[in-house]
């Protein structure tokens, strides 16, 4: 037995000299062999170290297929496989990690500059691949986005899946383009000045092809998650599990040059260690940043309204860069659609939108009817660019029964209003693919399980999940290929009204990037004014002597308002203008002190302080 470290890389690593290192963690096994199944079947014994890692170096070239044989009987794919070309149940493939990068001048992106575009590789382009995304980079660059966020690309069962129930965190989905395809995409994005954020799932594994339990104590029954067994982050032998996910994060950020990770539902990572896994991950990533000189961003999806995850270590926090904030979406969505069922029962009033801007967490210690308890904490000390907001994303669209997008639920004017709420906020804005031109195709939930029993469990689960939303009518079958086909973007961007919507988004993003007053990210850079029962909301954004007044009218009737400032205002932008297919602007282009401003229904007007 050799004394390796507690933390080390696992998987198959092909070296320049023609050898391949195989490493796998299986602490309770008495014997582990590597079995090469193709091109020439042969089996080799592995050596074990003190921490349960087995390793061997063999003269094996890329393209070879292999499995591990546990205790002479169980044949299993590599838990850290990079490629599963024959399905999640087939042999793993040795792949070359070599790649000729062209992004030496790229050093990552600052949080404050993020404008994120979330996309699903399979449904984003007609090619359904990484190559299909590369073909659209010019378009994304012209739109003005600065980062694409890929929904999970790790190998899943079959050919279509959202990606959140994969069982191979290290493998890149083969029909998307595999390891080389993903590296080509990252390289091309960097050359286009666009960062790449990858969505990863560190809180559970899907059931199909999940053989981790055969290798070691990856799971614990100390905790429950909504998606099955909890991963073992804090019980006996948890170091091997923590190492598995640390190595995974570093693989993407280092070897694949990816700029950041969006981590799915980290509140379901159960860890009561003195050194929380999230903190340990952040420290590993900081070390990588110093080593590479490239900025890396960690964003967590958290359903807890708790700043501990994003607070600095000196405040007892885990120091993550930012978190997703669903409540901004819920507040805007609920007011615009009138939906107050399911989790929307906590929303529906202007007060909620006002709080989403002023306090970030709408529930920051107050009583939540939906949760039937006081919920959340205050975020007064956290700058706005620690929070990612959106009015559409994969969850909020795809987890609707019919996958219907906001554009099919509200008026064209309301859709423009929602976009402005996100893009003119000081938060990190996230767009969901297609929203920028008002895509009408749904984004449905889809899977491709070979196992009919699993397919039925998924169908049943979806039905139960939507029971309390009291939906009527037919249920789209996630397993049916039509659910995938219907979710592919139409790319109808030439004709009106889509072309106008696209120009509208471009203009707002440009304004966000170039206007000084919109650069403020500190808590003191924005004042929020509500008006009781009126559906008017005014933001005052200030930064370096530059000042903007942004007036949102969420009402279906026109509103008017007196700014109460002692200086004149110049109109900069009005979503109701005819150039944006609006009914026409009602606001004057110059407003003197004491004059009132007329705001059209479901619209936004932006004024700047008039300089003589």
- Kindly write down the DSSP assignment for every residue of 296-309, as one continuous string: -EEEEE-SS--GGG
Rounded Cα distance between 106 and 108, Å, is 6
Please work out, in degrees rounded to the nearest 5, the angle formed at the alpha carbon of residue 109 by the alpha carbons of 419 and 303.
55
399 is in an annotated binding site: yes
Report the relative pairing of strands 47-48 and 260-263 from DSSP bridges.
unpaired
Q: Is the peptide bond before 390 cis (omega within 30 degrees of 0)?
A: no
163 is in an annotated binding site: no
* pLDDT at residue 2 greater than cutoff 60: no
Does residue 391 have a known ligand-binding role?
Answer: no
> 395 among the known binding-site residues?
yes
- Residues 8-46: pLDDT tens digits? 999 999 998 899 999 999 999 999 999 999 999 999 999
The answer to whether 78 and 94 have CB atoms below 8 angstroms apart is no
State the Cα–Cα distance between residues 118 and 121, nearest whole angstrom.
10
Distance CA 30, CA 10 (A): 19
Checking if the pLDDT of 267 tops 70, the result is yes
Helix (H) or strand (E) holding 398: helix 394-398
| Residue 175 among known ligand-binding residues | no
352 is in an annotated binding site: no
Q: Note the pLDDT of residue 468.
A: 61
Phi then psi for residue 344, to 5 deg, are -75, -5
pLDDT tens readout for residues 113-165: 999 999 999 999 999 999 999 999 999 999 999 999 999 999 999 999 999 98
What's the CATH class of domain 11-93?
mainly beta
- 11-93 and 518-609 have identical folds: yes
CATH of 518-609, one of 1.10.260.40, 3.40.50.300, 3.30.1330.10, 2.60.40.1180: 2.60.40.1180
Q: Catalytic residues, which ones?
A: 264, 301
The predicted model gives 379-402 an average pLDDT of 94
pLDDT for the residue 1: 39
In this prediction the pTM is 0.97
Q: What is the pLDDT of residues 177-226, one digit of tens each?
A: 999 999 999 999 999 999 999 999 999 999 899 999 999 999 999 998 88
Where in the chain are the domains?
Answer: 11-93, 518-609
In contact, 609 and 569? CB cutoff 8 Å: yes
pLDDT for residue 401: 84
pLDDT surpassing 60 at residue 4? no
Binned at pLDDT 50, 70 and 90, residue 7 comes out as confident
Task: Identify the CA nearest to 198 among candidates 183, 177, 208, 219.
Answer: 183
Q: Where are the alpha helices (DSSP H) in 101-237?
A: 121-124, 130-134, 137-143, 178-191, 212-215
């Amino acid at each position: 037995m050799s004394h390796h470290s507690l933390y080390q890389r696992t998987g198959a690593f092909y070296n320049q000299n023609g050898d391949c290192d195989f490493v796998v963690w299986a602490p309770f096994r008495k014997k582990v062999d590597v079995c090469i199944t193709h091109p020439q079947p042969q089996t080799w014994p592995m050596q074990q170290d003190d921490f349960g890692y087995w390793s061997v170096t063999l003269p094996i070239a890329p393209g070879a297929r292999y499995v591990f044989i546990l205790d002479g009987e169980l044949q299993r794919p590599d838990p850290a496989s990079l490629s599963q070309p024959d399905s999640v149940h087939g042999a793993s493939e040795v792949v070359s990690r070599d790649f000729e990068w062209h992004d030496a001048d790229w050093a990552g992106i600052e949080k404050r500059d993020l404008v994120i575009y979330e996309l699903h590789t399979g449904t984003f382009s007609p090619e359904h691949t990484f190559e299909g995304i590369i073909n659209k980079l010019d378009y994304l660059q012209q739109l003005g986005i600065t980062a694409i966020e890929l929904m999970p690309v790790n190998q899943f069962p079959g050919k279509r899946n959202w990606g959140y129930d994969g069982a191979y965190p290290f493998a890149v989905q083969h029909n998307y383009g595999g390891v080389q395809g993903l590296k080509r995409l990252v390289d091309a994005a960097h050359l286009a000045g666009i960062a790449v954020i990858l969505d990863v799932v560190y809180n559970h594994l899907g059931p199909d092809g999940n053989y981790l339990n055969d290798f070691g104590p990856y799971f614990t029954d100390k905790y429950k998650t909504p998606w099955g067994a909890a991963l073992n982050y804090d019980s006996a032998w948890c170091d091997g599990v923590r190492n598995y996910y640390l190595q995974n994060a570093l693989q993407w950020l280092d070897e694949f040059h990816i700029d950041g990770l969006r981590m799915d539902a980290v509140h379901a990572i159960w860890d009561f260690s003195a050194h929380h896994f999230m903190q340990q991950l952040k420290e590993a990533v900081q070390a990588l940043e110093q080593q590479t000189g490239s900025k890396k961003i960690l964003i967590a999806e958290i359903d807890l309204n708790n700043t501990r995850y994003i607070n600095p270590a000196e405040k007892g926090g885990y120091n993550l860069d930012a978190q997703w904030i669903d409540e901004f979406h819920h507040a805007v969505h609920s007011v615009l659609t009138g939906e107050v069922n399911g989790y929307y029962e906590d929303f529906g009033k202007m007060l909620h939108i006002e709080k989403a801007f002023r306090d970030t967490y709408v529930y920051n210690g107050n009583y939540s009817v939906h949760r039937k308890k006081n919920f959340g904490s205050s975020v007064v000390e956290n700058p706005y660019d620690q929070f990612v907001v959106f009015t559409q994303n994969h969850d909020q669209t795809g987890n609707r029964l019919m996958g219907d997008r906001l554009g099919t639920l509200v008026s064209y004017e309301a859709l423009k209003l929602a976009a402005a709420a996100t893009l003119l906020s000081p938060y990190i804005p996230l767009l969901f693919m297609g929203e920028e031109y008002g895509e009408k195709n749904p984004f449905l939930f889809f899977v491709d399980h070979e196992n009919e029993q699993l397919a039925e469990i998924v169908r049943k689960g979806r039905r139960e999940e939507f029971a309390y939303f009291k939906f009527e009518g037919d249920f789209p079958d996630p397993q049916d290929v039509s659910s995938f086909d219907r979710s592919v973007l139409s790319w109808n961007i030439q004709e009106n009204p889509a072309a106008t919507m696209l120009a509208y988004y471009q203009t707002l993003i440009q304004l966000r990037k170039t206007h000084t007053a919109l650069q403020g990210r500190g808590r003191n850079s924005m004042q929020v004014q509500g008006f009781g029962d009126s559906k008017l909301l005014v933001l005052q954004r200030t930064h370096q002597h530059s000042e903007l007044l942004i007036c949102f009218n969420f009402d279906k009737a026109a509103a008017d308002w007196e700014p109460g400032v002692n200086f004149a205002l110049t109109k900069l932008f009005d979503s109701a203008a005819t150039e944006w297919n609006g009914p026409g602007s009602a606001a004057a282009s110059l407003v003197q002190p004491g004059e009132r401003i007329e705001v059209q229904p479901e619209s936004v007007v932006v004024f700047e302080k008039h300089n003589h």
